Each structure stands twice: as C-alpha cells, then as structure tokens.
Chains A and B, each alone.
Chain A
Amino acid sequence: MSNAYLAYAAKRLAQAFIVILLAYVFTFVVVSILPGDPITNVLRDPQNGFTEDQIKQIIAAQGLDQPIPVQLWTSLSHFVTGDLGLSMRSNRPVTTLIAEVLPSTLILASAAFAIALLLALTIAYGTQFLPKRFGQGLLRGFPSLFLSVPNFVIGLVLIHVFGFQLGLFRVIAPDSFWATFFAAVALSIPVSARIAEVLIANLDKEAEQEYAAVARGRGLTQTRLFSKHLLKPSSLPVVTVIALAIGELLGGSLITETVFGRTGIGSLVQRSVSTQDLPVLQAVVSLAAVVFVLVNLIADLIYPLLDPRVKLIGGRGRRPTTTDDSATATTAAVTS
C-alpha cells in the first residue's frame, strides 16, 4: 500500500468524522428549534403524576435549563463517548434499545444487500450472454419493472404467495429463516434494479471497447471475459451507486419491517416518532448518518484500489497531456 493511498485514506477518514459530528449538531439544532416542547409534554402528562417541584428537579438534573449551546456541547461530548442518553418513554439507555433491534435490521439489510447484488449480477450477466431468442430483451426490461413496483406491494405479494398459498413460512413468526428471506427479497428488488441498471449500461459500453475484442482474440471464454475483463471496469460506477443504495435499504427496511411484522430499527423509529421520544430519534438519525458516511467512506477507499488510473489527492499527480478536447478551445481562442 503506497504512502499516497494512506495519506488519502487518512484524509477521507478525518472528513468522515467531521461529517458525522456535523450531522449530529444539525439534528440537535433542528430538534431544539422545532415548535412544541415534547419534554414538558411528557413531564406534565397527568398519567406520570410529577409535581411542579419534581419537574423542576428533573429539568435541572438533566441540564435542560441550560442555554442551547451548552446543552449541545454536553450532548455532543456524550455522543462522542458513545453515551446516547435515556429514552424518555422507557427510561432505559438508548444504546440498549438500539442494540436490541439493530441485529434484526442488520440481518435483514445485509441479506437484502447480498440478494440485490446477486440479482443484479445475474441480470447483468444474462443481458450480455443470453441469446436474443431466450429473452435477453425481457431481461433488460427487469430493472425498470423492479423500480416501478412499490416495495410494500412486492412484500404483500410475497407474503400471500409464499406465506399463505405455499405455506413456506408463518406470518406470525417473522424471524424464521424463510420469513427473513422473503422480507429481504422484497427489500432487495428496488435496490438490485438500481445496481443492475448501471451495471448493464457499463457492461454494454465496455464490451464495445477494443480491449474486449483483443482479449476475445486471445481465446478467452465468454465467462472469463465477463469476470476478468468487463466486470471490474463496469463496476467502478456501481460502487458509487451501491453507496447510495444503502440509503434505500435503510428507508426500505422501515416499510418492509412493518409489512412483515418484524421488530427492528424501523419499528423503533415508528414508535419513537409517535411518542416523541427525542433521544431515541436523535440517536437513530445520527446512526443513519454514521452508516451513510461509513458506506461512502468505504466506497471512496475501494475506488482507487479498483481503478489504478484514479489520481489520489495528496498523491503524486500525473503529467497533464494535451488532448483533443482542447482543439475547439484553441480554435475559438484564435478566432475571437
């Protein structure tokens, strides 16, 4: 690993850290300036039965009478050390609440991601090598089809067919293997469509390149040509798409968890929103920011490893070359 790459990685890592902190500050500020005071609402709820003195004590103990910047600083310093505070509803640490539901969502999201990749690769491979008469055109229509069907419809259809008709899984046991599998399938379909779309377009482009013909002339089989030559350059733009698709997985898991009756981050968010449990919401939003930033960081770190032509910031620059693009500019300069 070259020094240039390490310098690049360190810089990206620092940037990622700053972005996460900024995201936390942003949500904190937004929550603070929102109208309505959920904390007072909770404390003054007659069911809780706090007296005025108790309320004052709690507010002072939590530091909620401090100015916003001081509160932000306290909260941020806790966040950095991993302390996300207590849930206002259950009085349990937010980290515990999240830790309880996170595995279920992680399993669902990673299964969905794996299925999405597999599906996208299969479709893309098929569009390159399936003979026209065996439905290559149909395959090319898949991504648009996948994108145009809403996530929950796919979920409902899967539950109906595989749950009720075929009895592969029981709807009341959402954590069983098959239930998880079909939830992941439902979640993966729109994500796979995005990946497949970009992959197909790039495979088509790369297959036309001269080097593909030359490699074929070297006696490579179709499969080797695909895996050794076309896949890597075609997946460069896909890396970026995947980083964006993770966002879709997060958002989609909320709906899928509801449709399949799973507990997970989605259901936690749903509950916290309806009860205005601010510390939980703040934590989940920050978590989403962390996931997003990490995924994009990974994408940024992988990219230069996949494409040796990428010029690294902080690395050695390549000499500029005169290209034909300058032609029009040169001619225009002389004319005007």
Chain B
Amino acid sequence: MAAQDRLTATLTHAEINAPTPLRPLPLLRVDGLSVSYGPHEVVTNVGFELGRGESLALIGESGSGKSTIARAVLRLLPSGGRATGRVAFEGQDVLGMSERGFRPLRGRAIGFVPQDPANSLNPVRTIGAQAQEAAALLDEPGRAIRKRLILETFAEVGLDNPQRVYDSYPHQLSGGMLQRVLIGLAILPRPALLVADEPTSALDVTIQKRILDLLTRLQHDLKISLLLITHDLAIAAERANSLVVLKDGVIQEAGRTAAVFSSPASAYARKLRADVPALNPDRYAALRDVGFRTLKTGDAATPKIEVSAVTKTFTVDGTTLTATSDLSFTVPAGTTHALVGESGSGKTTAVRLLLGLEQPDIGTISVAGEQITGRSPEALRSAWRHLQLVYQNPFTSLDPTWTVEQLVREPLDRFKIGTRRERDARVREALADVGLGEHLLSRKPAALSGGQRQRVAIARSLVLKPDVIVLDEPTSALDVSVQAGIVEVLLTLQASLGLTYVFVSHDLALVRQLAHTVSVMHRGRIVEHGTAADIFDNPQQPYTKSLLASIPSGVADPANPPHARPRLMAAAE
C-alpha cells in the first residue's frame, strides 16, 4: 500500500464521521456512579469528566473498581452487576438507555480495547471475520472496500503483513500482535471515545511501550478521547492529561496529571507513588547496601553460583530451538543476581537448568560448590536442600487443598528434618520471617490474598534454610503495593540471613531496586552483563538501552506528549 493511498483513504475515512460542532459539554461525564453485585457495592459515588481529545487515567490496584467503571461506561458489566448514577456521553445518559438505543453507540462512538489480548478474540474465527464486524460499523457497503480499510488500519497500527493477519486465527499470532489487532478493530470505526482497560498488562515492556505510543499517537491523530485504565501510576502519568486515583471503589484523588503526580494530596496516592519501582529506584538502598558491601569485601574467587558456557537446545518436530546459548555468570554469596529479559529470552530455561530440572547440552553449573549438571535425580535432592525456588504465580503454585501449615511444613517432612516439635517451631519461624501471623496456619490458599500466598511460597522455600533461592518473576502476578511488601521481605531476609538470590524478571525497574549484578538476556544469549550501576547508568548494548527506555518514567515523552496538538497522520509516520 503506497503511503499516498493510505493518507487519502484515511482522510476520506475521517470525513465519514464529519467533525461534530464544538459544544461546551464534555464528551464523557460520570456523576455519582455506583456499581453493585447483589448487596456488595464495588464502586461508590464516582464522578469525573473527560473532554474531547483529552485523556484520563483511572488508577488503582486490583479490586479498586477501575475496570468495573470502564465496564459500566461500556455497559458491559457481567450479569448481576447493577450500575446507578449518571454516565453522560455527549450529554445523553448511557445508563438510562435501552440496549437497542445504546447499540448504535457501541464501536461507532465508543471503542473498547480489552486487557487480555489472548482471550479477547473468538478463537475459532479468523481475525478477518471479526474485523469485518468492526468494519460493518462504517457506512460502507462494499465488502472489498471494507477489507481494504481493515488492511490499512492493520498497517496503521504497525502490523507488518496485514493480509496474513487478516487470514490468521488468533492462536497463530503473538500477544503483542493481537493487542494491535484489537486496537485496530477499536479505532477502525473512528470512535470519539476509546476505553482501554489495562491494554498492556499482559505484554512485555518493550511491546508495552510500543502499544502505549501507538495509542497516544492515534489519540492525537484521530482526535479520540482516551479513558485509560491502569494499575501503573508511571504509565498513567506518562500518558494521560488527568488522573483519577481509586481505592475500594472510592475516588481518593483526582485532577490534572501534573498536580496529582508531582504533589499527591491523598495518603493513598502518595503510597501508590512510593510503591512504583520505576519512580523510586533507591527505595531499599539501605537494605541493598548490605549485599553491595559483601560484593566488595566478599571472596569473589569462590562464588555461590557458577554457570559456565551453558547451552541448551530443544528439538520440536525436527526443528532445533536454542533456548540458551553460551550462558555464563557467577553470583557471589549474599548478593542478588538478576536475569532480565522478555518472553522467549531463555529466562525460564535458565531457571530450570539452574535447578537441575533440565540438563544442559554443553557447560556446567555449580551451586554452593556442588555440581548441579550431570546429577541423578536422587543426587539432586541433596542439592535442593540448599537451593530453592519461588515460582512466579502464587495462584497456581500452591496446592489448593492443603493448609498453610502443611504447605510450609512439607519440605521439612520430605527431608526428615528435626523432631515434630522442631518442625512446628521452624514453620512458625519461617512464617514470621515473611511477616505472616500464626493465625493463618490452618487457612487454605483460597482464603489468602495474592501477596499472602506469595509470602507462603517464600516461607516454604525458607523453611529448609537454603543458601540460594531462585525467584522466578516472584511479583509479576501481584499489585504494586503488594509487590513492594514482597520486595522488602526478600531484601530483609537477605540482609539478615545472607541469602543468595537469582532474580528472574522482565521488569527492569524492579530489578534496579534490588539487584547487585545483572545479566540482560536476549534470544537465549546474555547480551550485557555487569553491576547494577553499570547496566542502569551506563548501558552499552542497544538492546539494554531499548529495555531501559521502555520503563515508564511518569514523564510524558517530549516527542509525543499527551497534550500535544493534533497532527496529521503523515507527520507522525
């Protein structure tokens, strides 16, 4: 598609929805909105205004009601949800309308970009078939013309091969591509309002940045108003003109971004700001310095973990995939080494190799002086006394039928450590170490919050008094404030017990808060390696630089500020 054609098409396309005359009333005005499920009220008396071409972010943690508000505005509340109050779109009360009356606004006037791209498209229909539904909202009778507009939109949102995407089924595309498709489908009918519900929470950081840039650019070029729902204050501050901070369904603070972000008035907004790792790289400096001192004075000649030249390949249907290639790093005792990379970078394979769950093709791994590679499963058992894992998802890694006591105690029983009484005492001690009270002992995982579950998982790995803990994205399933608590627990334990951590994460901001040394992984290789200061303050490799640039800073990109004047598409291309 020639650029000229694209530009013309976009212009005629825009003329279909002729510019509405400017009116004093805001595009979206929410007044006294409350949402309840049965007797349970999840959103209470929320109100805000979103002007034409403006962007507003609803910020809060899980359970804050931010997604519920979005769903209420879209009239997509799950069955049983009841919204009261007033949601006025262009002056019309949306909540009071009949479904028949509201339907013409769906897609055409109000677009929706959902949170989880993998589950937001029908798995048994092609992308093209679903795109045609969005295209049907344009008053364009020709199917061929509609298809051309779809392909143009796919190109516009940065999909490389629009025709291939059009013919694909959702499972054939990556999460980033699917999110682009969904954004494309939402903007195709040129809505006046785009509601984006955590549009990047399921994506890698570099893809997150690209998707957010895309949304910001489209918002300006197409003069769309953006209602952005996010848990990340830094993203919100970077992308929105105004912020609304929510907690338990109640507004804590609202106002222009500059004011709310730089000088939050409410205690909750201040806490939220303090918990965002990207904004507070040195929050745990005092605790982390213990490890840095060890790094300087410690005996670097005998590192706790030594990985040398490890290569692992998998053969799937005759194709050989290199999961890790020539992986080497050492971790001195009492410090944290971070393995950083995006999906597919080989982090997970590295973890499995480190634990002896996979054997490398070439290379050796030793932990605490013991060789991990080439061991029999029985011999690995003894290594696991000193080497434990905390898995990334506490919602699936704990057996739901066991109590907290059983879960934490199991390793002691398996390794037959101590008498019954000593085991009981050890379990209580481990729980106390992670900040959990004894009253939780008889609870089952379902009765715990995400943060509590991950603390149980940490206690379970601590109970054997290991030297080394492998932390595989331990906070990626948790809210920022819960994450902050876990990070603090981990650093406190390291400072007091001299633990050695291998911390696997895609979140550079988090790594900056707690790591002493860092390896950046890309496509199975370590592309850059050094102390935290080297990597963060003086990155050498372009890939590391791009990762660092993807960290939301809370400051709008000067090249693409949220309050910039609308520009023509051609200028942005």
Which residues of A come within 8 Å of B, CB atoms? Answer: 208-211, 213-221, 224, 228-229, 232-233, 236, 306-309, 316-317, 319-320, 322, 324-325, 327-328, 330-331, 333-336
Contacts and interface: CB of A to CB of B under 8 A. Distances in A.
Contacts of A309: 123-124, 169, 171
Nearest to B169: A308
A320 B171 contact: no
A327 B120 contact: no
Given A317-B317, A319-B316, A331-B389, A214 B396 contact: no
24 contacts: A210-B114, A210-B119, A210-B120, A211-B121, A213-B76, A214-B120, A214-B121, A215-B130, A216-B76, A216-B106, A217-B107, A218-B185, A219-B105, A219-B107, A306-B124, A308-B171, A309-B169, A324-B396, A327-B391, A327-B392, A327-B393, A327-B396, A328-B398, A328-B399
A217 B76 contact: yes
Given A217-B107, A219-B106, A233 B114 contact: no
B416 interface: no
A83 to B, nearest CB: 45
Given A210-B119, A229-B122, A330-B352, 12 more contacts: A209-B119, A210-B120, A218-B106, A232-B125, A233-B122, A233-B123, A236-B124, A324-B396, A328-B398, A330-B389, A331-B457, A335-B410
Contact of A219 (B104, B125, B396): B104
Contacts of B355: 334
Interface residues of B, number: 56
Given A308-B171, A317-B316, A330-B391, A213 B119 contact: no
A336 B460 CA distance: 12
Contacts of A334: 355, 357, 384, 387-389
Contacts of B392: 327
A336 B414 contact: yes
B397 A327 contact: yes
Given A215-B133, A228-B125, A320-B316, A331 B411 contact: no
Nearest to B74: A217
B501 interface: no
A214 B107 CA distance: 10
B112 interface: yes
Interface in B108-164: 108, 110-112, 114-116, 119-125, 129-130, 133-134, 137
Contacts of B391: 327, 330-331
A220 B122 CA distance: 14
A208 B79 CA distance: 9
A217 B103 contact: no
B348 A322 contact: yes
Contacts of B129: 228
A336 B121 CA distance: 41
Nearest to B355: A334
Prevailing SS type, chain B contact patch: mixed
Which of A209, A232, A327 has the most chain B CB atoms closer than 10 A to its own CB? Answer: A327
B76 A219 contact: no
A322 B392 CA distance: 12
Contact of B125 (A208, A216, A229, A317): A229
Given A211-B121, A218-B185, A325 B137 contact: no
B357 A330 contact: yes
Contacts of A330: 352, 357, 389, 391, 397
B103 A219 contact: yes
A85 to B, nearest CB: 47
Contacts, number: 115
B397 A211 contact: no
A211 to B, nearest CB: 5
B331 interface: no
Interface of A is mostly: helix
A229 to B, nearest CB: 5
Contacts of B35: none
A144 B125 CA distance: 32
B114 A213 contact: yes
B78 interface: yes
Contacts of A208: 78
Nearest to B106: A219
B490 interface: no
Contacts of B457: 331
B182 interface: yes
B414 A211 contact: no
B127 to A, nearest CB: 11
Contacts of A236: 124
Given A219-B103, A317-B317, A335-B411, A325 B396 contact: yes
B381 interface: yes
Contacts of B388: 334
Given A327-B391, A331-B397, A334-B384, A214 B114 contact: yes
Contact of B124 (A220, A232, A325, A327): A232
Question: Which 9 pairs of residues, A with B, have the shortest CB-CB distance?
Answer: A219-B106, A217-B112, A219-B107, A327-B397, A308-B169, A327-B396, A324-B396, A210-B119, A218-B107
Contacts of B133: 215, 218, 220, 224, 228
Chain B CB within 10 A, most for which of A210, A228, A320, A336: A210
A328 B397 CA distance: 4
A274 B414 CA distance: 67
Select the residue from B116, B124, B321, B392 with max chain A CB neighbours within 10 A: B124
Contacts of A214: 112, 114, 120-121, 182
B417 to A, nearest CB: 12
Contacts of A217: 74, 76, 106-107, 110-112
Contacts of B397: 327-328, 330-331
B184 to A, nearest CB: 12
Contacts of B71: 213
Contacts of B119: 209-211
A224 B120 CA distance: 17
Contacts of B396: 324-325, 327-328
Contacts of B114: 210, 213-214
B351 to A, nearest CB: 9
Interface in B404-438: 410-411, 414
Nearest to B316: A319
A335 B171 CA distance: 34
Interface string B248-266: 0000000000000000000
Contacts of A307: 123-124
Contacts of A336: 381, 414
A169 B169 CA distance: 51
A331 B461 CA distance: 9
A5 to B, nearest CB: 15
Contacts of B169: 308-309
Contacts of B115: 210
Interface in B177-208: 182, 185
B100 to A, nearest CB: 9
B137 A219 contact: yes
Nearest to A230: B122
